[in-house]
Amino acid sequence: MKPKFKVPGTYVIIAGLLVLCAVATWIVPGGQYVTAEDGTLNYREVDNVPQTWQVFSAIYHGFVRQAGIIVFILVVGGAFWLLNATGAVEAGIRRFIAKVGTRDKWVLVAVTVLFSLAGAVFGMSEETIPFVGIVVPLVISMGYDAILGMLIVYVAASIGFSSAFLNPFTVGIAQGMAGLPLFSGMGYRLCCWAFLTILTVAFVLAYARKTRRKADRLSSTEVPEKLTRSQTWILLVLLATVVLLVVGVTLWDWYLPEITGLFLAMGIACGVIARFPAGRIVDELMVGARDILSAALVVGFASGIIVLLQDGRIIDSILHSMQEGLDGTGPLASLSAMYGIQAVINFLIPSATAKAAITIPIMAPFADLVGVSRQAMVLAFQFGDGFTNMLTPTSGVLMAALAMARIPYVDWVRKAWKWVLVLLVLGFLLLLPTAIIPIPEF
């Protein structure tokens, strides 16, 4: 009997990609985009730089590039471990479930729509990571699994991010670079967001029905004990932290340093309220950081892939060859190709801002030449940028969210690839009308 094929682990997959990229630097011609005096990007050929032992040094540089997210994962992981050690979250969840009763489906719907809206309006991405740590234990206690927690937080926010109508990091930047009025064409984008969000809600409810573990459900006759005073205060601190996170991100331009400090302060405050000795507070923080260390390392290793492509001077030549492949195509074929190229590039450049800076100045004038509206081109950029973010191992946000949910990357891919494929097809279908009928400016 032949041994059953076993899917390689996350580190093995990343190691294979590192070696593959190093080999590519010996084969793919070098190239570079340079900014002209008028601000346009021009491509020029340069010598490639074959990578050999740099496979190992690229890992170091990958850790340096993603140091902010790695520190964020370790600190937030430690803070949530300390929070859970107080027992307040578990007690609060049990009382919440007893109150919700059979209305838990409405909770799933509300949370999914909320995070999708957050992605669509202010581009929630990195900010989903701590919310995954809050929501996953809740849905597990309700009788579901960690995958569902990722769906209603990370995936929902990604859907909103992809089909955004006000997201400054995709719509705003892309339209600005394409010379379009800021946030124009909102009507069609709003329809796309509503359609995709409704489908996401339906998928969430279907997955919830399929994976529900009835045995883990808190029975209606079981009344949990009342919260102690310290547990109540700890939950209030958690609520205040979430409110501060939302306000800080939307009004005060908070990013990883401020969010990391906020959750570290939350963890310490909860430990003090629980009357933990100073030594135990430190120990719990260290245990939490150690527990999540493996997932944090994945972020650094995966970032080394991009370092190899950039140091080998082939990432721009790959982008240029994709752009050249559009020459001589009609409007519909060109728009479809733009969409596909953006989706592929997303595996190389997960950052929406960086990808817009490289691709929009090239795609915008080309769209004019082939008869594709710039609004449609921006929408292709949005869809291509967002959907594959749910799978790409080079996305620090995805890896961090999976770390918070304690879901191995390989397990996530097994569950999510079909859904991402459906989204890619739906994105293509939503793009088709824009190749024929211009997107209204309103």
**125 closest CA partner among 167, 186, 187, 76:** 167
- Tokens of residue 353, six digits: 């801002």
Q: Report helix, strand or coil for 114.
A: helix
Q: 286 vs 79, 133, 267, CA distance in Å? A: 9, 17, 12
* Secondary structure letter of residue 43 according to DSSP: E
Which tokens hold the place of 198?
Answer: 């409704």
Distances (CA, A) of 186 to 368, 416, 417: 21, 29, 29
Residues in a beta bridge with 45: 31
Rounded Cα distance, 333 and 324, in Å: 14
Rounded (5°) CA angle 340-342-346: 120
pLDDT in tens, the chain (442 residues): 455 656 566 677 778 888 888 998 999 888 887 877 776 667 788 888 888 888 889 889 988 887 887 887 788 888 888 887 888 877 776 677 667 666 778 888 888 888 898 888 767 777 788 788 878 888 887 788 889 989 988 999 899 988 888 776 677 778 877 778 877 888 899 899 999 999 999 999 999 888 876 444 444 445 556 778 888 898 898 888 878 877 886 678 777 788 788 889 988 999 999 899 999 999 999 988 887 787 678 778 877 887 888 888 887 887 777 667 666 667 788 888 888 888 887 776 776 766 776 677 667 767 776 778 888 889 988 998 888 888 887 777 888 888 888 888 888 998 889 999 999 999 999 998 888 787 776 6
